[in-house]
């Protein structure tokens, strides 16, 4: 009989990572756990650590704490601020997985001598021609492959996602069966470092200066209102514009250099064309030449839609949807799929101004 294999699990203190660790332990794996100390409000930090310790004690696995606040601030929060100040709407979860969470998890595993790592993400990993393939999780309402598309082949090859073929309801039932000391329905914050606060406060604090007021203009360039900081707006925003009109206006574009916010009607937000840069092919997939049919997502909750993808330069792509999509947002990730398999993704860039 082969000895059990060491595996290091990232433990957040929530139900998903707790069940992932318990499932691996039930499989006979020799499981260890790490809890990352992240930036954010101090309120509740000690309680979260205590809850994570209780979970690991119940499962019977050792826990270590790893302080990643400096790396997180440098790689995620700094980029988050810069994106908003540049007129973009960033996705910090994608950046965190690529630059902080998985690299730090792999580094801690190396330090422990554990060959494998695991998280509570809802995604599936398979192998094809000896290479890892990232696929959608089984639960369409929870699956998280979108957030994982930038992980390297080296990271994916040593990763396990124990919840990938389970639904959220099944995970919660497993938590009860294991008797895990987790809060019912406890979920991680979507933007963990904000702690439920308004992102605008973080941008203002990091900016270190008073936001400059500017114009809100329509698509013809006529002033229709005023703003107190362009970073306070996102593409598709309807409320909070302060514009009196019989028909609602929506934010179409953030022009950071001109300090202008462009608004229009809902129908003006539909577009078929997307350009993205810093495109990566997930899991070492060979770059595909010419035009290919894909299913593409322009944000996490966007339903993937049929499109044609074409490489237009090193790590740059152009994508054309078969049907116009609403609120294509610069700064968000464009992620492309072949059926359920992630092909790759990049960061959406602004279209050239006409």
Contact 19, 180 (CB under 8 A): yes
**Residue 336 known to be catalytic:** no
User: Taking the CA of residue 133 as centre, how many other CA atoms within 13 Å lie in the half-sphere pointing to its CB?
Assistant: 14
Contact 5, 161 (CB under 8 A): no
Which position among 56, 93, 96, 336 bears the catalytic label? Answer: 96
Q: How far apart are alpha carbons 182 and 185 in whole angstroms?
A: 9
Spatial CB neighbours of 50, under 8 Å, sequence gap ≥ 6: none
What are the structure tokens assigned to 25, written together? 């332990």
Q: How far apart are alpha carbons 248 and 263 in whole angstroms?
A: 10
Tell me which DSSP letter residue 22 carries: H
**Residue 96 known to be catalytic:** yes
**Residue that is written with structure tokens 């992102």 in the block:** 199
Which position among 56, 93, 192, 336 bears the catalytic label? Answer: 192
Query: Phi first, then psi: what are they for 305, rounded to 5°?
Result: -125, 150
User: Taking the CA of residue 17 as centre, how many other CA atoms within 13 Å lie in the half-sphere pointing to its CB?
Assistant: 26
Contact 335, 146 (CB under 8 A): yes
List Cα–Cα distances, 191 to 153, 197, 309, in angstroms: 26, 9, 30
Collapsing DSSP to helix, strand or coil, 344 comes out as strand
Residues serving a catalytic function are 96, 192
């Amino acid at each position: 009989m082969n000895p059990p294999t060491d595996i290091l699990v990232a433990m957040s203190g929530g139900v998903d990572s707790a069940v992932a660790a318990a499932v691996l332990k039930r499989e006979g794996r020799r499981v260890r756990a790490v809890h990352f100390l992240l930036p954010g409000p101090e309120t509740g930090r000690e309680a979260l650590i205590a809850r994570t310790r209780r979970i690991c004690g119940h499962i019977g696995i050792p826990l270590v704490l790893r302080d990643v606040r400096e790396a997180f601030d440098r790689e995620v929060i700094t980029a988050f601020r810069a994106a908003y100040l540049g007129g973009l709407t960033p996705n910090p979860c994608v950046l965190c997985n690529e630059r902080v969470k998985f690299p730090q998890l792999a580094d801690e595993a190396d330090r422990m001598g554990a060959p494998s790592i695991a998280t509570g993400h809802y995604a599936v990993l398979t192998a094809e021609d000896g290479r890892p393939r990232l696929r959608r999780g089984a639960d369409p309402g929870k699956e998280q492959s979108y957030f994982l598309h930038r992980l390297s082949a080296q990271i994916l090859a040593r990763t396990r996602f124990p919840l990938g073929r389970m639904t959220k309801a099944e995970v919660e039932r497993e938590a009860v069966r294991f008797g895990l000391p987790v809060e019912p329905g406890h979920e991680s914050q979507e933007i963990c470092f904000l702690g439920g606060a308004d992102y605008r406060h973080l941008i203002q604090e990091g900016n270190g200066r008073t936001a400059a007021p500017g114009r809100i203009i329509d698509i013809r360039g006529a002033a229709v209102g005023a703003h107190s900081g362009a970073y306070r707006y996102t593409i598709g925003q309807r409320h909070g514009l302060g514009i009196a009109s019989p028909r609602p206006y929506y934010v179409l574009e953030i022009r950071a250099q001109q300090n202008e916010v462009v608004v229009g009607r809902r129908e003006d937000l539909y577009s078929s064309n997307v350009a993205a840069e810093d495109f990566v092919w997930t899991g070492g997939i060979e770059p595909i030449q010419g035009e290919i049919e894909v299913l593409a997502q322009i944000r996490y909750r966007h339903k993937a839609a049929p499109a044609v993808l074409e490489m237009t330069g090193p790590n740059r792509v152009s994508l054309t949807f078969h049907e116009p999509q609403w609120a294509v947002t610069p700064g968000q990730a464009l992620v492309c799929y072949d059926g359920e398999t992630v092909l790759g993704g990049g960061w959406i860039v602004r279209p050239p101004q006409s």
